[in-house]
Each structure stands twice: as C-alpha cells, then as structure tokens.
Chains A and B, each alone.
Chain A
Amino acid sequence: MLNVSLPPHIASRYRLKQLNIRRLAAIAPLVFSALYLFGTGFLYSLLAGLAGLVILPLIVKKWRRNFLDLAEAFFTASIIALLMPAGVDWYYPLLAGIVISGARALLSEKDRLAPVNFMALTFALFVLASPEGLAPVYYWSANSGGWAKGNFYFMTGWLPLAFSLGMLLLLTGRFYKVRILLLALLSAGAVLSLTSQMTGVPQMGTIDLAGLQALLFLSGILAIDNHYTPLTGWGQTIYGFLTGTVFALFAMKGLLYQGLIFPALTASLFTPFLDCLFTGGYRRTKD
C-alpha cells in the first residue's frame, strides 16, 4: 500500500526550524558585540534566560519532540538577555525565560502564539518591579553611538544593531515588514517635530541617539519578528505608526527612559484586534 496524504505534495523549504536558525544567525552580531563589551554579565544573563526557557519544557513535557526548538530557545534567550539592564541579577532573565516558555506552552495548545509580545511584556514587568521603578536610572545620553557601551545590553552601538537588523530582514525574507520600521521612525519624528512647532519648545532635545537605538532595536527586531506583528499590510502600517507615536510620547515626557521600551509592547497588544479588523475585509476578488 502506498503512502497517502492531502495535497499539496510539496512544501516550501522555508520551515520554522530554518526560520529560527536564520533568526539566530541574524541576531549573532548583536550577541557577540554584547559579549565583547559586557563580558560575563551578559553571558550569565544569556545562559540564565536559556535555562529558564528550557527548564519548563523539560519538566512539564519531558522533552517531547517538537515541543522544544533549541534554535528558537537560543534566539529568545538572546532577546531576553539583550533587553536586560547591564549588571542585572541572574534570576531576572531566568524568571523571564520561565514566564515566556510557560505562556507559550499554555497558548500553543490553542495553536496561537501571538496575542501578546511576551518578551516585551516580561521585560516591562521587570522594569516596573525593580526597586528603581520608573525613575530615570539609566541615562542613555552618555552612551550614544558607535561601539559605545550603554546601560542596556542591547546598546552595543550602531554597527552591530544595523548589521543585525539588515541580516534579519534579508535572511528571514521579511522585507515586506520593513514598513513597520520605517513608519515607526517616521511617525516618531513627525510627532516630535509637530509638537516642537506647536509649542515652540525644542522637543527633539528630549530624545537622543541612544533613544533612537532603543526604537530601532524594538521596532526593528521585535516588531519585524513574526510573532507579534499583524498579518495584513494595513495592520502592519497601523502597528508601525502606533509604535512610533507612543515612542514619541514617551520621549517627550522625558522621564521614563525605560518607557522607551514600551512602544512595541503597546502596539503588540493591538495585534489581535488589528488582525480581526483587517483579515475580515481582506478580500480582493469579487463574489
């Protein structure tokens, strides 16, 4: 008896495993730069995040095949570690990893991974729970560009960031999502410039190059990543606009440097709504 299956009988080479490996390769420049600049501090964060992501699947599902993709775990651990403030205690990334893998395990039962940006959410929770709270502890303006070392692990400078962003777009074939990045940057600039003109106060001074790095990192790496962005072109356009506007609003307040992390989280909360709104009307053909 021959093997029987449903059509189609061929599949694109672009599978989830390859996607995760490519994402890992794309983020490698940032990870290696962070390792070079921050040394063991970043390494511990990375390993703790990885442990957090692996522990839960190992215990709960007893290493079931397909449940744990090591490439994805490495990628997520890298993002967690990069999002952490420099010198953070090891248990923060560990807990973040556990929370993310737990949430994924729960939601994967429903074949749905993307209602909330787990990584941004987890990080936001850590920022809010930290003793410094919302106070402007990390002054990013001191570490603005080049290869300069910053107060967050992702602040490794423009070169690695640009390299990783470019690689991510190229290797994962997600150039169509570049609109998110462009719109985030454009709308942030537009809001700041408009407010500056209306109030006469130079709002642009409240945001520096380091802040721009944060926006690039988040709207670039997090927003271009599939999990948290809307499916449709219109949804992605609104997502990009929302990210940029919220970023500008945080920047204008000038108080919450950590708050600059929030735009991607805020926008990703709208992802399911944007999907519902636009996929229903996403039809080009006549009845």
Chain B
Amino acid sequence: MIKSIKGGRAWPHKNFIFDQPIEALTAPKSLAITLWHGGRPVVAKGDKLKANTQVGFDNTGLPVFTGLAGRVTSVADFPDLVARPRDFDFPRTTVFIETEPEQPAREPVFEPCPRFWKLSKAELADRVFKAGVADLRNDDLEKYLIFDGLDLEPPLSTNVRLLKERPQELIEGMRIVMQIHGSIRARLVLSSRMKGLNADLKSLLASAVNISIEKVEPKYPQQSGKLIRQTVYQDQSSAIYGMEALLNVRRAVILGQPLATKFCTLCDDTKGQKRLAEVYIGASAAEKLNLRSQDYSSLKLVSGGLLSGTCHYSLQLPVDRNTSGLMFYRNQAPKENHPCINCGQCLSICPVGLAPARIFSLVRDGQNEELARLKPENCLECGLCTYVCPSGLLLSHQIKIGKKILEGKL
C-alpha cells in the first residue's frame, strides 16, 4: 500500500453506487452533440445520418460522432448553461439530431482488430484518434502510466463498477495504451477498502508483468493528477488513464467503434434514486433523469461530482464527453454564513497544505503581497475547505478569486 495524501476526506461506501450494475444503453428521442466553442461541424441541417457517423470536429480537432441514426434538425450555437456573466458565456457549436425510432445495430467504423499487438504504435494511435477518443499521435509520450481505478468523489462510481463488470476488457485496454506509450511500467491504483475486487484483479493481472496493483487509502481528492503522480511515482512525469478511457481505447482498436457513449452516474435526490448508466453523448439530462415539470426553485442540476461539479440552469443540458455524472439535487449548500471562528478545519483537510481561512481574509482585504506568499495557485479546487467550514464561508471560491488576482485577470 502506498502512502496516501495528507488531509483529504474518505467518504463511506454508502455515498457511492458500487453495488448496482451499469444500466444498458437506451436511445433518446433527440441528441444535442456539442462540438464545444470553436468546433467545426461536417454535417448540415436536413442530413440523414447513420449510427457512428462523424458530425464534426471538436475544439481540439478530435472527430465527434453520433451514436444513433437520425436526421440533423439544426446546427447552431447553444449556451453552455452555466450561470455566469454574459461576457463570459462561451456558446458551444452543437449539432441537433432527431433520432429514428427504430435503431439498427451500430456498425464499426474501422475493421475490428482483436490481435492489436500486431499493429504498430502509430497505427494504434491513429485508430484511437480517428475514433475521437484521444490524440496520442505524439512521439514523446510518457513512459510511466497510472491507471486510475479510484472513485473518491461522491456519488461518482464508474471506475469501480467498470472494474467489477469488465475487468478483462480493461486489461486489454491497459495493454493497448502501454503499447502506444511504449511504456515500461504501469500501475493500477485501487482503493485499499475494495478487498474482494483487489483480489480478483490481482489474479487477472498475474500474467501482466509490467502492471502492478497499488492500493491507496481512498481519500478525495487523491485522484487529482498532481497528487496521484506525487503518491504513485513521486512526481515522475506520467500519464493518467481512467477506466472509461481504457474501455474507449479498447473499443476503438479492437471493435472499431468510435466514442459515442458515456458512462454516467445519475442521481435524483427528489426520488431517492441513484444509478449508473451508459448513455449516448448528446442525450439531455431531463430525459436521462426522467424529469417532469415541477417547481424547481429549490432544486439544482449538477454535472460532475457533488464537490467539484458545476451547476446548470436548464434541464436541456446535454451529456458530453466530460460528463461524469448528472445529479438532480435539493439545495444542500449552507444558506447562511458567519465570520471565521479560527477552527482550523480547512487547514487540516486541505490536501495541498494551504491555509484557506488566511487566504480568504487576505483576498477580502486586498493584501496581494501576503497572498502571493501563501501560494493560492497550488489550490486543486477540490472544494473540501468549503465543505468542512462550520461558518459556511465560500473558501474555495475566494481562493479562485485570489488566483485570478495574482494572474492579473482581476
């Protein structure tokens, strides 16, 4: 077991959905596939599309696909649905598709290749790119790899669930990624609390000489890039892959399937429902959560985890490649705040050893020189300081403001 981070918080299992199977795909009536701000569509209004057809390129140049057959109803800018000032709104180029009621099976876009080890590194990277998974066509990729099997932020539970349900596929994905990176060493990081899962994976990985299992105490935000590199490879430059990314790489290379679906944690606090599902990219939150019109004034829609996720103001929010969770929650944030009582909870929980209470007061008082000394730029924005603050102060938000001040953006 490797040494865990100082600070942080380990949530109990009941906050996750480790015991429910991942629900199968269901086809929504419409899709809104985002190409992000600056994306380039390759389809136009009225086009009839088959399943797994490319609809455009996103802002990083990766191809974007539709997972369902249908007709393009429009290609337009769509607000990103995060409440922020108008000047900061970045509308996303979005392809709207009305899906067909009867969907044919998804055909592969490339020829399936079960014997992936026969392909060269460049061929593998090319397939992964063309499937819209990631751009790995770089010669100087990291040689050290971290496979992140942790689920630490409630209620996101995809990594653990995929490890339980599809270990063989994930191991194939790991081998492909290692081949692309030319990697000499990879570590699969697992929670020390998942004893049964760890034993199963250990036996499965027995033949894989270069992949070792590392157990860590499951403390959020251990899986943030900086911290996991620090604990696993002592700050050595390394690449990190989540379980879903590995599955997508495997699907692209072995099955020839592009990235068109996403594993999501779906929660509806009003009904007390929590589930995991594979959903089509572009499906709307309202449809996935089966929401009906009601009084939403005390409710909020969160995309991502409950600590670092973003609130959106409309139920039309589409699932995109970064949506790890969709949650319809009652507002649990503190309604009132009080002055700091010097309890020191924020200091003891901060995983990077910052002093959020001090930074809070320095930002408020405009003491920028002293603020620079406290290094707010090291903040991971995990939100734990705000979570624990008994006075209900928005510490993490104030640290973000501090960062912007030091960067000269405010």
Contacts and interface: CB of A to CB of B under 8 A. Distances in A.
Interface residue tally on B, bucketed by range: 35 or more
B387 A12 contact: yes
Contact of A1 (B6, B313, B329): B313
Contacts of B389: 12
Contacts of B394: 6
Contact of B230 (A11, A65, A114, A285): A285
Interface in A1-32: 1-12, 14-16, 18-19
B298 interface: yes
Contact of B396 (A8, A11, A18, A284): A8
Contacts of A19: 341, 343, 390
Given A9-B306, A226-B342, A3 B299 contact: yes
Interface in B136-155: 154
Contact of A11 (B298, B332, B344, B360): B332
A218 to B, nearest CB: 17
Interface in B349-368: 352-355, 357-358, 360-361, 364
Given A3-B298, A285-B378, A112 B361 contact: yes
Interface in A245-287: 271, 275-276, 279-280, 282-287
A66 B335 CA distance: 11
A13 to B, nearest CB: 10
Nearest to A272: B342
Interface residues of A, number: 45
Interface stretch (A41-49, A53-61, A130-138, A227-235): A227-235
Nearest to A279: B355
Contacts of A114: 340-342
Nearest to B384: A8
B339 A5 contact: no
Contacts of B396: 6-8
Given A2-B300, A113-B342, A10 B361 contact: no
Given A2-B315, A9-B307, A15 B334 contact: yes
B4 interface: no
Interface in B318-353: 327, 329, 331-334, 336, 338-345, 347-348, 352-353
Give 3 nearest A-B pairs by CB, closest first. Answer: A279-B355, A284-B353, A8-B383
22 contacts: A2-B296, A2-B299, A2-B311, A3-B298, A4-B312, A5-B331, A7-B308, A7-B310, A7-B383, A9-B327, A9-B333, A15-B392, A16-B338, A66-B336, A111-B339, A111-B364, A231-B355, A280-B358, A280-B373, A280-B374, A283-B354, A285-B230
Given A1-B297, A6-B311, A9-B309, 12 more contacts: A5-B300, A7-B306, A7-B309, A8-B308, A10-B332, A11-B387, A14-B390, A15-B334, A16-B390, A19-B341, A280-B370, A286-B235
